[in-house]
Structure 1
Amino acid sequence: MSDLHARMAARVGDLTAVVVARCAAEAPFYGALPRATLQGEVARSIAAVHALLLRALRNGGGEPLGPGDLTRLIEWSARRAEERVPLEAVIAAYLIGAEVWWQTLTEVAEPGELAGAGGKLLACLHAALPAVVLAHQNAQEDLHSENKRVRRALLGALLAGRPYEELASVARVAVVGEHEVVAFAFESDPPSRLVQSSLDAFTGIPVLMDHVARIALLPGRSDVPGLVARLEKDVGQPVRAAAARSSVPAAIPSAAQEAGRVLDLVRRLGRPPGCYRLDDVLLEHQLARPGDGLVRLAAKLDPLEEHPYLLETLRVFVERGLNRRQTALELCVHRNTLDYRLQRVTTLTGLDLAVPAQARLIQAALVARVLAGPADHRGVTGWQGSAGAAESG
């Protein structure tokens, strides 16, 4: 094979140029590379593979690729993966190179040399491609794992208000301008990969998300209600979410705290699935401040504690916007029965739903009861006496 080796060695420079040109024309990844990169690093890599093929031609009946050759291929493949070269682009380059090598063999080989040279080429591909694929995949997995670690660290730094610039550079994430901080609550725990895939697909970018704390960071003014609707469909269960906007990265920690408080309120109040902001629960947020005011407001309805059907009637009446017809329909009672129950509420509490100011107080008291907890945990023994006095008066 020495003569064939010499003939192929004389063509290697031309072969490399042909393979580079075809890679640029047929593989989109290489077509997008700068000309200097194609003629520099890419051409050097192709020439190195040609050198391995030349050694295989000279190797007689031995193994086409020795352990040292495979080690070099594995090293190159791992480096390509670290440089974010897609595996399909790497395989395309090897196959284009093999085709060009074979075409050249048919031009320079003697009839008696061609079968052996073709066998050497196939043997090289058989040995090289599995090693290349495995090395590339292993390097990608390591890189992906490291990327996830860096991205988690970046999100943690942003949420905590710590320096994040170096982490953002390593993660290749631009952290500028506005962001939406979104906290999620699921009825059951969906797979983290499914949630991440849904968020990434909706936004078109890899979303920073803490899958333990269930909080995500979206750049710009994202369509959060649309995202929640998409997520519900993908995970197959209702989703509650709370969003808060930060105008600059430094405001992300306060936005995260706001989103967390809103989500907590939504869950405690039993609000239906969907997306909420602070403005959607502004009154409830203010009422939720701990203190005597919340306790005393909740105690306004303590006289109804022994009449759960009255509390339920009052709750539905308020949720239906004080609409008697809709309330009666939902409760499946006659309008006269509803009127009687509402009159009993007025008698027991001393608060008249027909008086706008007192109706607003009752509405706030209903919210306060949820936020303050059951009466026997509020320590308000004196307040039932006051309500009773109002009833007897």
Structure 2
Amino acid sequence: MNTHKEEPLRLGGQAVDDWLARRYERLAAELVDGFAATIPIYGRFPPDLRRDILWITRHNLDMFIGMLRQRQAPSAEDLAPLAESASRRAEEGVPLADVLTAYHQGIRVTWTQCASLATPDDHDDLVSVSTLVFEYQQIVTSVVATAYAEERQNILGHEREARRALVTALLDGQPAEELAERAGVHLAPGYLVLCLSFGSAEDSDGRRAAISDRRRVRAVASVLEVWPHGQVLTILDPHGGTALLPIKATEPGRTDAISPAERASLRESLAALDFPVLAAAHLSTIERVPVVHTTTREVVDLVERLDYPPGIYQLADVLLEYQFTRPGPGADVLAELLAPLERGTELETTLETYLRHDLSRNATAAALNVHPNTLDYRLNRIARLTGLNPSRQSDLHKLTAALIARRHTLG
């Protein structure tokens, strides 16, 4: 700080800087006692931490006295201890609101004591002191909040990395106990393995789309955090991801199917989002997480490729579709049955709609906005081209399987 000294600011005939300097030790102790009395977490600080607070309070008084004398802001070197102190409070888990409350309370009490000296003749100097008080508060608030936020971001980054490494180990079947300890996570005996797909935001503005993508990830993570049985572990990106929701030990004989109550709870949570989500979920012991995760991911990929509506699916919900789309010559032969129907034509759409409406002529015609006779004509053309009649029960299973295999193979 510049050593040039301005003419002292006087209140009640006394130089304010000298008056504060004489009360320096007593005022610092009074301020720290005040923090402990009015800010609950400060009242619980151990003696060594209380000494730290006393030291930084004295340093603040030193800087403010210097500001009164020099009429200029503290230097970066003078402010560095405030940033270091804020970083330590962040590391210790002291809420930022409480840290800033202590600073603002200290500034207010100091200002109140200075202002109590003023007389009606001190208007100009009182305004000058007030201006310096407000400037000092603005400076220290910015320094403290910035340092605190940077340290918290650093801490959260390390925590996220540790949890991501833990989830990766669980999904890969690798030892996870040491990683769990490092991440501060208690491993559950079992997990509900949840695979999600919500797609990235569609926006021609790349920056706006990126913001929307990050918002989606945060929103999904937030709704999953309310899971009542423990800490949820996630790996999420703008397109989807995986969540491991802890459960109690699985009951003897219980399958990997989730209960109606569990499905309803998940459905309610995901329904709160303002964008559609496809999900697949199965229960697993911690040892079987890799195997169950593979199946669950396959299920959510399947329903996405088949263009099924948003919801929570399990293997039992799409058992035939899953089996029909397993890689191999069988799936290829099934898909080839519909080769005569060009992709995306009205005949393919007609067949899909007919099957979706449980073979109802009237419902299908209404959905396609055509006359029932037109529908009959199209169904007959499908039969002639493929050799499989949609109205014949023996051919219907092949058509259904072929359509599923085709949609999965071609996307």
* Structure 2 length-normalised TM: 0.69
Deviations 1:291-313 (A, max 9, x none): 3332333444456669x655443
Distance in 2 between residues matched to 1:98 and 1:202, nearest whole Å = 40
RMSD: 4.1
Match of 1:143 in 2: 155
Counterpart residue number, 2:108: 99
**Equivalence for 1:385:** none
Structure-2 residue corresponding to 1:73: 82
Structure 2 vs 1, CA of residues 360 and 83 (structure 1 numbering), >3 Å: closer, same or farther?
A: same
Letter in 1 for 2:50: A
Identity across matched positions, percent = 30
Residue 308 of structure 2 corresponds to: 271
Asked whether the 8 Å contact 1:82–1:143 carries over to 2, the reply is: yes
Cα displacement string for residues 20-75 of structure 1 (whole angstroms, at most 9, x for unaligned residues): 10222xxxxx2xx7x6x335355323311343256469879468967665332221
Q: Compared with structure 1, are the counterparts of its residues 82 and 337 closer, same or farther at alpha carbon in structure 2 (3 Å cutoff)?
A: same
Say if 2:64 and 2:136, in contact at 8 Å, map to a contact too: no
Q: Which runs of 5+ in 1 are unaligned?
A: 25-29, 375-393
Closer/same/farther in 2, CA of residues 345 and 195 from structure 1, 3 Å limit: closer
- Superposition pairs of residues 269-308 of structure 1, within 5 angstroms: 269-302=306-339
Q: Structure 1 length normalisation: TM-score? A: 0.72
Bigger-Rg structure (1/2): 1
Distance 1:314 1:169, change over 3 A: same
Alignment partner of 1:217 is 2:243? yes
1:186 counterpart = 2:189: no
**Alpha-carbon distance between aligned partners in 2 of 1:299 and 1:169, rounded to the nearest angstrom:** 53
Aligned to 2:172: 160
1:323 maps onto 2:344 in alignment: no
Kept after mapping to 2: 8 A contact 1:154/1:167: yes
Q: 1:48 to 1:271 in 2, by over 3 A?
A: same
Higher mean Cα deviation, 212-221 or 60-69?
60-69
Higher helix share: 1
Residues 183 and 259, structure 1, Cα contact 8 Å, conserved in 2: no
Query: Structure 1, residues 208-231: CA drift from partner, whole Å, max 9, x if none?
Result: 233166303152457443444444
| Aligned equivalent of 1:18 | 34
* Contact in 2 for aligned 1:228/1:241 (Cα 8 Å): no
Matched ranges for 1:182-261 at <5 A: 182-186=195-199, 188=201, 190-191=209-210, 192-204=213-225, 208-211=234-237, 214-220=240-246, 221=262, 223-231=265-273, 233=274, 239-261=276-298
For residues 345 and 119 of structure 1, the distance between their equivalents in structure 2, rounded to whole angstroms, comes to 86
The reply on whether 1:131 has 2:143 as its aligned counterpart is yes
Instruction: Quote the Cα distance in structure 2 between the aligned partners of 1:340 and 1:52.
Output: 90
| SS of equivalent to 2:39 | helix
> In the alignment, residue 198 of structure 1 is paired with which amino acid?
A
Change (3 A) 1:17 1:217: same
Separation in structure 2 between the aligned mates of residue 324 and residue 298 of structure 1, nearest angstrom: 25
Deviations 1:349-390 (A, max 9, x none): 55455553432233223223334559xxxxxxxxxxxxxxxx
> Is the CA contact (8 Å cut-off) linking 2:193 and 2:296 kept in structure 1?
no
How many residue pairs align between the two structures?
357
User: Structure 2 vs 1, CA of residues 199 and 163 (structure 1 numbering), >3 Å: closer, same or farther?
Assistant: same
Conserved 8 A contact 1:180-1:217: yes
Which region of structure 1 is more displaced relative to structure 2, 78-87 or 222-231? 222-231
Q: Which moved more, 1:42-51 or 1:60-69?
A: 60-69
Structure-1 separation of matches of 2:76 and 2:183: 35
State the secondary structure of the residue aligned to 2:45: helix
Residues 1:156 and 1:103: Cα distance change in structure 2 (over 3 Å): same
Give the direction of change, closer, same or farther, for the CA distance of 1:104–1:273 in structure 2 (3 Å limit): same
Judging changes above 3 Å, is the alpha-carbon distance between structure 1 residues 267 and 23 closer, same or farther for their aligned structure 2 residues?
Answer: closer
Report the Cα distance in structure 2 between the residues aligned to 1:55 and 1:335, rounded to whole angstroms.
90
Counterpart-to-counterpart distance in 2, 1:296 and 1:125: 75
